[in-house]
Amino acid sequence: MLRHGTMFKLSDRMQAAYDHLIPDEPVWDFCCDHGYLGLSAYRSGRFPEVHFVDQVPHIIEKLKTRFEQKHQKYEQHQRAFFWSQSGESLTHQVSGTVVIIGVGTHTITDIMRGIHEKNSGFISRYIISTHNYEDKLNVFLDEFLPFKTAYKFTKFCNVPENGRLRKLLIFDKICKI
């Protein structure tokens, strides 16, 4: 996988997620918090839309203010969008690469249940990493039929973080021919 330099020094886990974003497609940074992944994607100019989603309003407000002061001036063709709501309650259409990392299994499964069926045909790739209950996440991914029939497991990366290994899972849309 070709490594692209980013404007932030990303952790290995974030860099691995960044390296698997699909160029020329939207990026959805769910549970974005500091927003480093989405900001790196935005600044690269390689993605037409970057969406930041976090359920804590002041996180999104702060991020948006920082974005307007420091990053928006680098806009070429790319656009940024800020969503101050839980991922599972989004009704806007989601497409391109969905990233849900740095949260627990419960949050990941809630968000996937909330967005998957409405957007199944539009989401090209899911990049997922849980910080707890990996087994429960695997069971969910194996049993959530609408997802299982539309997406295939493509690869996983083991990434070191704070003395432990985190798994990053990549799922891609099954292209019907």
Ligand X SMILES: C[S@@+](CC[C@H](N)C(=O)[O-])C[C@H]1O[C@@H](n2cnc3c(N)ncnc32)[C@H](O)[C@@H]1O
Name the residue nearer to ligand X (CB basis): 25 or 54.
54
Q: Which residue's CB is nearer to ligand X, number 32 or number 123?
A: 32
CA distances from 9 to 12, 15, 18 (A): 9, 8, 12
**Look-up: residue for tokens 């899972």?**
169
> What is the smallest separation between the CB atom of 151 and ligand X, expressed in angstroms?
20
**In whole angstroms, how close is the CB of 132 to ligand X at the nearest point?**
12
User: For residue 37, which phi and psi values (nearest 5 degrees)?
Assistant: -65, -50
Name the residue nearer to ligand X (CB basis): 132 or 149. Answer: 132
**Length, in residues, of the chain:** 177
Least distance to ligand X from the beta carbon of 85, Å?
Answer: 7
Nearer to ligand X, 40 or 107 (CB): 107
Nearest residue to ligand X, using CB? 102
For ligand X, give the closer residue by CB, 26 or 102. Answer: 102
Rule CB under 6 A: which residues touch ligand X? 30-33, 53-56, 59, 86-88, 101-103, 107, 110-111
Which one, of 137, 129, 133, lies nearest residue 167 by Cα? 129
Taking the complex as a whole, the smallest distance from the CB of residue 166 to ligand X amounts, in Å, to 9
3-class SS at 82?
Answer: strand
Closest approach, Cβ 79 to ligand X, in A, equals 20
Helix (H, G, I), strand (E, B) or coil at 70: helix
Q: Label residue 38 left, alpha or beta by phi (over 0 means left) and psi (-120 to 50 means alpha).
A: alpha
